[in-house]
Each structure stands twice: as C-alpha cells, then as structure tokens.
C-alpha cells in the first residue's frame, strides 16, 4: 500500500505554522511546480497536484483539525472527514490566491471571457563601439539592422488581402482552452490558433501568415556626450514587430568605448601617465597634455616630485552624462632615468655626486638608516 505524503512536509512548513505561513509556502511552491512553467514534466505535474491537495486541507480550519488528529484517515471512507463528515476537499476556496496565477500565467484564473490580448514584439539588442573622443563630444550615428516589421500587403494580419480571418472553433475566439488540473481549472494557449483566437484561412503569401517580415533598416542614433561602456540607448518601437499586428518591441543600443592610446577612464576622470626627466623632477617645470576637447592643458611640475605622484587638472576630464560640468584630468608622473649620456653629462653628474650629502634624498637616507639599524640588531 502506497504511503501518502505528509501535508506539512509537502508544503515545507512546521506543524505549528499559522495560516499566513502556509499560504506563503503554497504560493511559492505553486509557482515553482505549475505545469505551465514545466511543460511536459510529469513529476512537476504530480507535485503540483499534491501541494494543491495539501493546501486545500491545511487552509481550512475544520479540515486541518481533522487531519492533525486522524491524518489521511480523516478523509477516507468512513472517516470523520469523509462522505457526510463535512470535511471533504470539494468545497475548497482558492479565490484568495487566484491572483498569483492570474499574474504569472496570463489571467488563467481571472475568469475573463475575452480574446487573449496580442503579445508585444520582442526587444532587440545592438552593440555599438565608439571612440573616447566620440564619447566626449557625443555624436549622431547611423546603424543598419534587420528586424521583423508588420507585413505591408496584409497589414500585419497574416491573411491574404481581401480575405478575412475566422474565429477559432476550438477555443471560441478566447485564445485559450481550459483543462482540469488537480483541484484547479487551468487555462493554456489554444493549440489550434496558438493563442490568437483567430484562424487564417488563406495566409498572406508575402509573410506566409506570420504578419511579419524581416526588413533591413537604417536608423539614426543620438549618442549624448559623456556616455561610457555599458550605457544603454533605447529606440522605442524599433524592435521586433508583434504577432498579428501587435505593437513592436524596443531596440536597445549598448555602447562600448574603444581603448584609447593616451587616456584611461574612471567614470568622469581621465587618467594618463607622463614620463619626465630626472632633472625636471628635481628642478620642477611644466608639461602640456592634449585634451579630448582639442585644447592643451598645462600641468605644473613641483620641484622634487617622485614617481607615482598624481597631479590633477580640475574640469579637464569627461563631461557628466546628461548633467553639468566635467570630471578631472589626472596625470601620474613617472620619473625617467637617462640611459644615454654624453661625456659632458657624465662629467656634470659626477661633479654633482661629489657634492651629495645625503640630505638631497630623504627617503633614501631614511631607508638605509633603517637597514643599518636592522643589521645592528641582528649582529648584537
């Protein structure tokens, strides 16, 4: 004899769970195992029936009390909940949870008698690469795409011009058919008309009854200044046409910024690295950095600057997308050691070296003093 599953275990709740917890657990499991979300899965269908049965019992105070006392025997022949006992499942009220199925499965429990609404066309994606200069200034670009549009000869109906469509005999024009599923009456798209509610007697030759044809298009895209990689531009109604003359979806342009020869980008900040001679680092000076706006930005180099030091030029970075102002330009200094010296340069450097006292480079002095102290500690 088969062992019947415990209702509390089916709903994954404790036996002390209140009505709110039981209802919440049922909603979660019903959405997971509903046949419309698991087409062709017999195990999910069986599970769905079990949790329906469990909820029908535990959501009713009288049935739950009988189940807690007698278990499944309460609803078998001769039991207190069997025929004549007033605790059968036939009268279960699921009206309070029908809204979740209406939301998820397209109004299957809403009781509406009208024809199924046409589905909106699919959204499409287009990836566009632009330069950092184009992202700085903004641009208007043209793109070539091929998307499905409403068929002109039939106006998107899918029927040969001059002919008409007839109401589907199987679903009566509703676009859905009903079937008993456990304790629920479940609605699905009609297999005869595929949810349209209408049947095309003579399909249009141009679109073969689809109501849509793939058509190449040239579209204009306005790219605003300040965009970055990942910025998305929406072209409303430029996506795939909906079936049966339904509204078209949208086309989304995803932007990608090409790598730049000079600058890296972090939000609205532009970052670049500038090598300078060790004499400029020691004495100070200035360098010029060309900006993306075509101007030249003068960067003052303070005397004694070290490699890795960052200098900031306010307002010389990327413009703020759909806002005011601009970010900053950050220049990271890299002090370059000369590799080719003339005889005169070597002579001058040796002369400079002879005058060094160690105070010129405080970081080096401090480092070697720490090395000396560490060596003393090891040898003592």
Q: Are 200 and 222 in contact (CB under 8 A)?
A: no
DSSP tag of 319: B
Residues 275 and 331 in one domain: yes
Say what the pLDDT of residue 108 is. 40
Round to whole Å and give the CA distance between 225 and 264: 17
pTM of the model: 0.57
**Domain residues for 362?**
344-379
State residue 79's pLDDT score. Answer: 53
End-to-end CA gap in the chain: 87
Co-location of 133 and 208 in the same domain? yes
Residue 304 contacts by C-beta under 8 Å, 6 or more apart in sequence?
281, 282, 284
Q: Is residue 294 in a domain?
A: yes
- In terms of domains, do 252 and 269 share one? no
Residue-level pLDDT at 111? 41
The total of structural domains in the chain comes to 4
Put residue 215 in one of left, alpha, beta given phi > 0 → left and psi -120 to 50 → alpha: beta
Task: Give the total residue count for the chain.
Answer: 380
Q: Are residues 131 and 242 in the same domain?
A: yes
Instruction: Return the CA Rg of the chain.
Output: 38
In terms of phi and psi (left: phi > 0; alpha: psi -120 to 50; beta: otherwise), the region of 317 is beta
CA atoms of 234 and 128, how far apart (whole Å): 13
The whole-number pLDDT of residue 115 equals: 41
Per-residue pLDDT of the chain (380 residues; tens, 9 = 90+): 345 788 888 899 998 889 889 998 998 898 888 877 777 788 888 888 888 888 988 988 888 888 888 787 777 654 555 444 443 444 444 444 444 554 444 444 444 444 444 578 889 999 999 999 999 999 999 999 988 888 888 888 788 888 878 888 888 788 888 876 666 667 788 888 877 788 888 888 888 888 888 889 999 999 999 999 999 999 999 998 887 677 889 999 999 999 999 999 999 999 999 999 999 999 999 999 999 988 999 999 999 999 999 999 999 999 999 888 999 999 999 999 988 899 999 999 999 888 887 776 766 656 656 666 666 666 66
- 329 and 355 in a single domain? The answer is no
* pLDDT score, position 1: 38
Residues 235 and 269 in one domain: no
- Sign of the dihedral through C-alpha 136, 138, 139, 144: positive
In Å, what is the CA distance from 217 to each residue of 127, 145, 214? Answer: 16, 5, 10
Domain containing 273 — which CATH number? 2.60.260.20
Give Cβ neighbours of residue 24 (< 8 Å, ≥ 6 apart): none
Both 99 and 14 in a single domain? yes
In sequence order, what DSSP letters do the residues of 119-146 get, joined into one string?
PPPPPEEEEEEE-HHHHHH-EEEEEEEE
Beta-sheet pairing, 285-290 with 269-277: unpaired
Q: Which alpha helices (H) appear in 253-300, and where do they start and end?
A: 278-283
Are 251 and 238 a contacting pair, CB within 8 Å?
yes
Annotated binding site for Zn(2+): 151, 154, 168, 171, 190, 193, 204, 207
The span from the CA of 257 to the CA of 130, in Å, is: 5
Token pair of 358, please?
Answer: 């160690």
Q: Are 8 and 14 in contact (CB under 8 A)?
A: yes
Does residue 193 belong to any structural domain of this protein? no
Task: Name the binding residues.
Answer: 151, 154, 168, 171, 190, 193, 204, 207
180 occurs within a structural domain: no
pLDDT of residue 89: 44
One domain, residues 151 and 246:
yes
Q: Are residues 299 and 247 in the same domain?
A: no
User: Same domain, yes or no, for 137 and 15?
Assistant: no
Residue 175 domain flag:
no
Virtual CA dihedral for 82, 85, 87, 93, nearest 10 degrees? 110
Give dist(CA 297, CA 276) in Å, integer: 16
Residues 156 and 77 in one domain: no
Q: Same domain, yes or no, for 84 and 29?
A: yes
């Amino acid at each position: 004899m088969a062992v019947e599953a415990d209702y509390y275990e089916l709903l994954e709740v404790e036996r002390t769970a209140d009505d709110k917890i039981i209802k919440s657990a049922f909603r979660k499991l019903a959405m997971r195992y509903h046949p419309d979300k698991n087409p062709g899965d017999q195990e999910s269908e069986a599970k769905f029936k079990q949790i329906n049965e469990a909820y029908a019992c535990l959501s009713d105070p009288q049935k739950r009390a009988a189940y807690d006392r007698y278990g499944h025997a309460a609803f078998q022949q001769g039991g207190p909940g069997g025929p004549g006992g007033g605790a059968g499942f036939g009268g279960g009220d699921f009206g309070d949870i029908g809204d979740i199925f209406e939301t998820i499965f397209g109004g299957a429990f809403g009781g509406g008698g009208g024809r199924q609404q046409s589905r909106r066309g699919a959204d499409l994606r287009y990836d566009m690469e632009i330069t950092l200069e184009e992202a700085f200034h903004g641009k208007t670009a043209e793109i070539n795409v091929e998307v499905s549009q409403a068929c002109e000869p039939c106006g998107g109906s899918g029927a040969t011009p001059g002919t008409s469509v007839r109401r589907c005999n199987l679903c009566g024009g509703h676009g859905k058919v009903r079937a008993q599923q456990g304790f629920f009456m479940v609605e699905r798209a009609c297999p005869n008309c595929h949810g349209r509610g209408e049947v095309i007697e003579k399909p249009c030759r141009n679109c073969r009854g689809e109501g849509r044809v793939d058509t190449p298009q040239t579209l204009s895209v306005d790219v605003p200044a300040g965009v970055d990689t990942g910025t998305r531009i929406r072209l409303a109604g430029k996506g795939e046409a909906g079936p049966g003359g339904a509204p078209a979806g949208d086309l989304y342009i995803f932007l990608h910024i090409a790598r730049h020869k000079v600058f890296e980008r972090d939000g609205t900040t532009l970052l670049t690295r500038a090598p300078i001679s060790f004499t400029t680092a020691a004495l100070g000076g200035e360098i010029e950095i060309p900006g993306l706006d075509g101007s030249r930005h003068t960067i003052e180099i303070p005397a004694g600057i070290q490699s890795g030091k960052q200098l900031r030029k306010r307002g010389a970075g990327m413009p703020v997308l759909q806002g005011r102002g601009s970010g900053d330009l950050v220049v990271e200094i890299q002090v370059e050691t000369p590799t080719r010296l003339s005889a005169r340069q070597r002579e001058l450097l040796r002369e400079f070296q002879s005058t060094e006292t160690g105070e010129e480079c405080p970081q080096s002095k401090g480092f070697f003093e720490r090395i000396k102290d560490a060596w003393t500690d090891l040898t003592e």
